[in-house]
Structure 1
Amino acid sequence: MNKFTRQTTVRQVINDPAFGDFGRLLFPVDRPIDPDQSLAAISNERTFIWYSEINADTTVDVLNDLQARASAGEQIFYPIYSAVEQRQDPSRRNTGLFFFRGQPEKEFALVNAGGGFMYVAALHDSFPQALTISRHGHPAFALIYRPDHPFEDLGRALSFIEDHAETLGVKRTGYSLWGGSAGARMAAIGGNRKGLRQITGRTDLPAAAAVIMQYTGYDTVSKDDAPTYACVGDRDGIAWWQGMKDRLARLDRSGVPTEFHMYPGRRHGFGLGLHTNAEGWIEDALAFWERMTIQNL
């Protein structure tokens, strides 16, 4: 049975025994949230600033999935820094990977939420995407990172998955990097072959097969960029849709495969876009990634 409802409070989720000492990381730690508010009460643009189409039922679905799997004995959270490293820098305690298991030995996705590098909006901008990806068979990780050290944490997360791929049951190659807003910028830089080396300090990590980007103003183009899928709304006041389209056209001219979607009426940060004309974008993105994976075989 589902344990959480729209009326469950933030405090009840954080203190659920299934979540151990990482329950607080389910919610933004860089923004004040009243722990006695319900999940329905926090599902708005006051809590998740810069976002739209925030769906409390999606939040409840994500949290019930995580709680059920953790209660069944599955490890759903992985620190990316050792205990020693966390003692050396206590801010590293606010990082880690939430793991949404798909089919074993499949290509994984790493999803980065946005938040303007001010906070991490995972409940709306990475957990729902990761859960949906896993339900389509691919293992998916949602990264909780420090807004002031995003690329250090992304690099560590990619190294962690590479070094523990067998234990995690994921395929090392053919993976994809996903992100919305600031998280899309992270995905694009991590999906660039030179960028990957810079943020990890390693030369042994395979490059991403695809980058999946939502609503970002990132405009740098390189022949080292991964194949890129992008989507955005035409009422986005932060990421101009024409700018995103132009960047993908430049990638095309550089020989990088792309796919672009613009949704009329959608504002910044629409997430899964449920019950809007953007609903289904994630299936399009999955199909793009899978095509790119096949082409790289």
Structure 2
Amino acid sequence: MGKCNQGGAGRKERNMKQAKRIAAMVLCLLALLALPAGAVMEKGEPNITAQTTMKEVRNNPGIKNSGFYTYSQDKDCPPGQALWEMTTVEGYTNEYVAEGCAKGLNLVIENYNNGVQVTHSFYTDAEKAADRTKNNTGLFYFPAKAENAKFALILAGSGANESAELEEGACTAWQLHELGYAAFILRYRVWTDASDDAPLEDIGRAMQYIEEHAAEFGIQPEQYAIVGYSMGGHLTGLFGTESVGYKHYNVPKPAALLLGYPINDMTYIKPIYHVIQDIGAYGPKYYTRNLSDEITPDYPATYHWHGVNDTLLKELAYWRQGPQLEAALQANHVKHVYRVFNNAPHVCGIGTGTDAENWLVEATAFWEEQCA
């Protein structure tokens, strides 16, 4: 009698569990049916090459729906937008970054297809409503191949109303992924949006966001690196300082700064940026500060490089750039590596087809040495 009752109770429990599973399946099906037509299966093909047109890139569901930023505002202002849309990835970027950029875009698509949230906002809706310039920021996430990996934040270069998340950012994120790291590309504020040291605030808030969501991203929250190019290298360098950097945002000190053709001294551009960004304001700003003047003995370990044929650095007085930064690092006994390549033009990113082609491999090894 008792055994029969136990058997009946067991059947009842199994039936209830089965009913719950069926109910859950029905709810999932109803949820899928409630989505807009095509939304469930709208995945992109990771088939982008250097010869894919920008229109094809932007129409790829994996790019369009992920939110990854593929624009250069100077090029895409009307009436030139239609013309640039028919340009290939290589024509839109350059011969040095195009291949890596295409691989980075394919990685975006693969991540999106796998359910990864690519685009993150590190400002709240209320903050963006109060300051419209914060709408032009973003953080693009590239997971590592394995959990608990180190991560790097990438700051591409910028000039006037243009930023290089697509050019330098995508190729660097792809190569970091191949090397086993997680990567984040930061879209920071530029030009008329960049008043009152806004780009430094963007770095600080992005780092706070990454630290707070480290478990979700599957990364180690400390011993991170920042990769910065050109103006992004200038900002990266300043973020490593005690005067205006990481301490102000209560985030860990970077284990290493990896700088590609960084701007150390903005020379004659300083008054132009002041008029555009901070007219009527007083006091030092990110663009008036020479990075070399801010370096102290406890500055993060730094790997920096540039090319002899970098015409932009020449225009900004070559000796005030890499050589002056190198002198400051030496004077303060900061652990560092300095490389000068014969052939490495500005905006060559990971250096494909140049003398700097393996710089990021060497730089990440330098980063790992600081974490040992």
Compute the TM-score of the two structures, normalised by the length of structure 2: 0.70
CA–CA distance in 2 between the matches of 1:224 and 1:121? 30
Among 47, 70, 74, the alignment partner of 2:112 is: 70
Q: Secondary structure at the match of 1:170?
A: coil
Cα offset, 1:20, TM superposition: 5.1
Aligned equivalents of 1:8, 1:143: Cα separation in 2: 24
Which residue number corresponds to residue 13 of structure 1? Answer: 57
Identity within the alignment, %: 28
* Structure 1 segment 264-283 matched on structure 2, within 5 A: 264-283=342-361
Q: Give, in angstroms, the shift of residue 53 of structure 1.
A: 4.2
> Is there any run of 5+ residues in structure 2 with no aligned partner, and where?
1-44, 265-291
Contact 2:63–2:105, Cα closer than 8 Å, also in 1: no
Contact 1:227/1:258, CA 8 A, preserved across alignment:
yes
Alpha-carbon distance in 2 for matches of 1:15, 1:260: 41
User: Is the Cα contact below 8 Å between 2:102 and 2:171 reproduced in 1?
Assistant: no
Does residue 228 in structure 1 map to residue 302 in structure 2? yes
What does residue 165 of structure 2 align with? 122
Matches within 5 A, 1:127-138: 127-138=170-181
Letter of the aligned partner of 1:127 in structure 2?
A
Query: Is the contact made by 2:228 and 2:262 (CA closer than 8 Å) also made in structure 1?
Result: no
> CA–CA distance in 2 between the matches of 1:68 and 1:189?
34
Structure number with bigger Rg: 2
Task: Choose which of 18, 23, 26 in structure 1 pairs with 2:70.
Answer: 26
Q: CA offsets, 1:206-225, max 9 Å, x none? A: 10011011112313322242
Match of 1:209 in 2: 255
Do the aligned residues in 1 keep the contact of 2:75 with 2:84 (CA within 8 Å)?
no
**Higher mean C-alpha displacement, 142-151 vs 12-21:** 12-21
Of the three residues 107, 110, 117, the one matched with 2:153 is 110
AA in 2 matched with 1:235 = N
263-272 or 61-70, larger mean C-alpha shift: 263-272
Q: CA deviation at 1:280?
A: 0.4
Partner amino acid for 1:151? L
User: How big is the shift at 1:238?
Assistant: 2.4
Give the deviation of 1:85 after TM superposition.
2.1
Tell me the SS of whatever aligns to 1:259.
strand
- Choose between structure 1 and 2: higher helix proportion: 2
Q: What SS does the corresponding residue of 1:260 show, helix, strand or coil?
A: strand
Count of aligned pairs? 286
Distance 1:23 1:163 in 2: 22
**Does structure 2 conserve the Cα–Cα contact (< 8 Å) formed by 1:133 and 1:140?**
yes
Q: Which of the numbers 213, 218, 222 marks the counterpart of 1:169?
A: 218
Given residue 123 of structure 2, which amino acid in structure 1 is its aligned partner?
Answer: Y
- Cα distance, 1:250 vs. partner? 2.6
TM-score where L is the length of structure 1: 0.86
Q: What's the counterpart of residue 199 of structure 2?
A: 150
Unmatched runs of 5 consecutive residues or more in structure 1: none
Code of the residue aligned with 2:261 in structure 1: it is Y
CA RMSD across the alignment: 2.4
Match of 1:4 in 2: 48
CA deviation after TM superposition for structure 1 residue 291, in Å: 0.6
Q: Distance in 1 between matches of 2:150 and 2:89?
A: 33
How many Å apart are 1:255 and its aligned residue?
2.2
2:339 is paired with a residue whose SS is: strand
8 A Cα contact 1:10 1:36, kept in partner? no
Separation in structure 2 between the aligned mates of residue 65 and residue 17 of structure 1, nearest angstrom: 13
The match for 2:136 is 94
